[in-house]
Each structure stands twice: as structure tokens, then as C-alpha cells.
Amino acid sequence: MLEWYVCLSVIGILLPLISLSQHVSSKSFLKIFLAYSFASFLSTILLGIELFLGGSSFKYVYFASQMFQTDLFFKVDMVSFLFLILNSLIFFSIYLFKLYSIENKLLHIYLMILFAINNLYFLSGDYITLFLFWEAMLVPTTLILWNFSSGNSKRNALEYIIYNFGLSVFMLLGILILIASKGTFANKSVLALATFLIFIGIMVKAPVFPFHGWLENTYYNLPTFITGIFSAVLSKYAIYAFVSLIKVMPYLYDLLVFVVLLSIAISAFIAISSDDFKKILVYMSMSHVNVMVLGLLMIFHKPRTELQVVIMGAVHGLVSYAIFLFAQNLQEQTNDLNIKNYGNLTICYPILTTILTTSLLIFAGFPITAYFFSEFYILSATFKYSFFFGIFLALGIALNLIYKARIFYYMVFKKYDVFASEKLQEIPINYFLTSLILFIGVFLLTLYYSDILYIAY
């Protein structure tokens, strides 16, 4: 099954190139993408069934490298599966419910290539394969920014590629050190240096302060349904890379923990200071992913933290896409993203209110959700390592609650002179159904939280 899945993903890279022909119209390609995303989603489910029945993991070796003296292979385990199902579900929903705001064929060609690369990345089993698709992802995303972002699109694309491609040299150096050390009794300090370099690359992708300079121009200026993909799926590249590559405590560990904690607070402060709904969501995503990165750093002090973080990442992806769809609905109906121009949503638009409230409650760590379980585990692991760092994280989480409360206060409670709310209508059925499916995904992850941990370990 894994071999078939890899072949299907490779087809997803080649098929768009064939579709560049003028004989394939935009509408025809959208139908092709719908069929392909359905096949991929169904294959992901079948892959998951095989994983649950067959064991904790299995792999497919596609090349034996003499140069690096290692096998290059794809593998699937619980970490891979959770991110694969997230990627497949979101892309399938986009084309099933026609959530895209642009029908340009070239854009959807880039998106299909990105979709396939995501699948291959989350299947990567060795250092070389992982880095190959880590870099390959930059091709379609940069082209999307260059051609379809608002504002100064060329500047947005160049800024994105300079950060993400230029600084990935640190990750490459770290990987080369790990490969050179394989099979030898490498000095522990050398391995710590390698993981430190890899972590710099992860900090760029997450992103973590001070490597977040590309974030706002990229996320904010993209069409919102694509921003949702970046937030929900592409930010998980950092999590998967950490779980796959970092096995030794990195050099300057305490400094890295402090920087991540600082980044959680800084992104929360930026979100608090803004009245622009989409900008708030951009920095909310950054802050939440930073909490996950911190949780991964705690694996050296509390075992099994990595899968708790992965489940949190899957929940984040589902809810993040739902709330970015909410923002896209506001843009389409009112062209106004200022939260102070809204109000009365509870009285006038109960479904809109339910979607927004559910998303905010999950992200706020409502106690009965998988997101809460993982966040609490990360908090307890941080306190176990350092009381000071635990207090710092608790303050960061509290800051995150402030901007969520601001959103709820301004957009839901009754106010006068709410210009934007007067232009609103109830959420369209396709947006509602997508949000419902995403929330069902959160429910299932919560319901089977302990089972997922049991199977993985």
C-alpha cells in the first residue's frame, strides 16, 4: 500500500505538468484535482487502516545510496499518518466544496504540486529524502506568492525564499554532520552542534522569533484559503522535521528554550495590538506552533511528548483552516476585517457565531479537547524541567487568551454602529459543511486520543 501511495503522490507532481496544455481548461483541471484529491484522501484512509492493523510503522526503500552509505526510504507511522490525513482532508475539502476564491488554472497546478510534495515530505524516512522535499516545497509556494499574492508580490516571494531557502543551509549542514557521524562513535558535542543547526532551520519554518520576518507578508497577502493551507499544513513541516531529525539535546539548549518562550509572548503581543482579524490569526498561528516547538524541546525531560505535540498539531491544522475560512467569508461578504466593525453575531448569525466560538474555545484550551490535553502535557513538562520556564509559558498562554477574548468581545457581543455586521449574511453551506467536517476531525482525535498514543508506543 505504501508503494502505491508514493506512486500516487509522484503522479500528483507530474499530472499538473501534463495539464499545462491549452486543451485542458481551468474548469477541467479543477475536476481533475477533485478526483485526484479524493483518490489521495481514500488512499490515506486505507494506509491508516493498514497501519492500525499491521503494526506501528512500515517502510519502502526506494534507493540504496553508496555515497551516503544509507538507504533512502519512505515510511509511515502514526506521526506520518496524522499529518497525511490532515493534508488530504484539507485539500479534498477545498475542491469538494469549492472553497477557492480564484479559478486560475496555473494557481491550481501549483497547489496540486504542493499537495503531492506535502504527502511525500510527511512520508520521508531518512535525512536526505526529508531535506529534498523540505526544499521542494519552496518551488510551488514561491511561485504562488510571485503570481498570486497581493501587495508587492515580487517582494513577498523574494522575502519568503531568502528566509526559507537561504537559512535552510543550517539544516543542511546539520544533516551532513549527522550523516558523517553515522556508524561512528561521534563526540556528543558534535551531535549537539548538528541538532542545533537543524533547529535553526526548524525555527525559520515554524517560524520562531527572530526568524519570523517573512511571516506577515506571506500569510497576510495570500488568498485566505491558501493562507489556511500555510497555517494548517506547511507549519507542520517544522514539527515533522524535529521528530524525524533531532534525537540529541541541541547545543545552547536553555537559550533555545528561552527564545521559543519569548517568541510565544512576542507573537501574542502582536496579535493583541491588532484589530485586523486576519493579522490576528496569522500571529495566533505563529504563537500556537511555537508552543508545539517548545513541547518538542521538552522530549529530553518528559518521554512521549512528541506524539502529544503531533496530535496538537493535527488539531491546530483542522481548527486553523476552519477559522481562516471564517475570515475568507468576512472578506467576501463585507471586505472588512476590522474586528471593531462587527457585533451582534449571536443575535443575527447563530451558525457564524457557533463556528467562531468553537474555534476560539478549542484554541483557548477548552478542557475536554485533544488540544487541551496536549497543551497541558507541554505545560507540565516545562514545569518539570524548570519552574521559571513553566511560569513563562503559563504567561504566554495567558497572553494568547487575551486576543481571543478581544475577538469574541468585539465580534460577538451586542454593539451599536456595527457597519460590517449589517452587510453580513449567514455563512454559506459549503463553508458550514467544511467547518463541520473539520470539527468532527477534532472530536475524533479527542475521542481516540489515548488509543492513538497506545498504538504509537
Average confidence (pLDDT) over 220-226: 93
- Give the least confident one: 10-14, 96-100, 213-217, 453-457: 453-457
For position 309, what pLDDT does the model report? 94
For position 441, what pLDDT does the model report? 95
Average confidence (pLDDT) over 211-235: 93
Per residue in 99-155, pLDDT (tens digit) is 888 888 999 999 999 999 999 999 998 899 999 999 999 999 999 999 999 889 999
Average confidence (pLDDT) over 29-33: 90
For position 115, what pLDDT does the model report? 96
> Is the peptide bond between 223 and the residue preceding it cis, with omega within 30 degrees of 0?
no
Per residue in 277-324, pLDDT (tens digit) is 999 999 999 999 999 999 999 998 887 788 999 999 999 999 999 999
Contacts of 35 (CB under 8 A, 6+ apart): none
pLDDT category at 420 given cuts 50, 70, 90 is low
CB 147 within 8 A of CB 102: no
For position 240, what pLDDT does the model report? 95
At 304, which helix (H) or strand (E)? Answer: none
Average confidence (pLDDT) over 162-175: 92
Domain limits of the chain?
A: 1-126, 137-456
Checking if the pLDDT of 21 tops 80, the result is no
> What is the pTM (predicted TM-score) of this model?
0.93
Express as a percent the part of the chain with pLDDT over 90.
63
Sequential DSSP letters for 193-253: HHHHHHHHHHHHHTT-TTS-TTHHHHHHHS-HHHHHHIIIIITHHHHHHHHHH--SPPTTH
Per residue in 353-401, pLDDT (tens digit) is 999 999 999 999 888 899 999 999 999 999 999 999 999 999 999 999 9
**Selection from 187, 198, 44, 204 nearest residue 137 by Cα:** 204
CB 271 within 8 A of CB 283: yes
* Rounded Cα–Cα distance for residues 278 and 330 (Å): 10
For position 457, what pLDDT does the model report? 67
Q: Please, what is the average pLDDT of the chain?
A: 90
For position 101, what pLDDT does the model report? 82
For position 73, what pLDDT does the model report? 84
End-to-end Cα, the chain, rounded Å: 22
